[in-house]
Amino acid sequence: MSDTEEVDQVEEYDAVAEEVVEEVEVAPEAAPEPEPEPEPEVEPEPEPEPEPEPELEEAVEEEEEKPKFKPAAPKMPDGEKVDFDDIQKKRQNKDLSELQGLIDAHFECRKKEEEELIGLKDRIEKRRAERSEQQRIRSEKEKERQVKREVRNI
């Protein structure tokens, strides 16, 4: 055997060993226990195992095809080109107007709440003023009663 034949045989063995490792990773149920790798000198021709290679490649290709979804630009019926900058500007303007509407609604709501708070404060102050007036009137009446009692007692 010449040196080039040995190198070719070792390369074939490495390729087969990688396939065996891939098979173990892809289908662990089929081979629950990993098989020990034979030495290259023991196995003269590893040609029977390259047959599963197309199946693995097909399975890998199927798995790779699924996540490789590339969105295409929407096709216009007139054959016009799509201007993504224009679409982006329109979206930004739409978002901006929506945000401005939300901000306006928020500040209107806050303004109403502030007006309600001011109204509540005014009502509280008015009640306090009324109660203090009532208390003042009661205290004056009580003083008049005490004066009348003193006059009667004399």
Q: pLDDT confidence of 77, banded at 50, 70, 90? A: low
pTM: 0.37
Q: pLDDT confidence of 31, banded at 50, 70, 90? A: very low
Convert 76-110 to b/e letters by CB count within 10 Å (16 or more is b). eeeeeeeeeeeeeeeeeeeeeeeeeeeeeeeeeee
Residue 16, Cβ density class (10 Å: 0-12 exposed, 13-18 middle, ≥19 buried) = buried
pLDDT of residue 34: 52
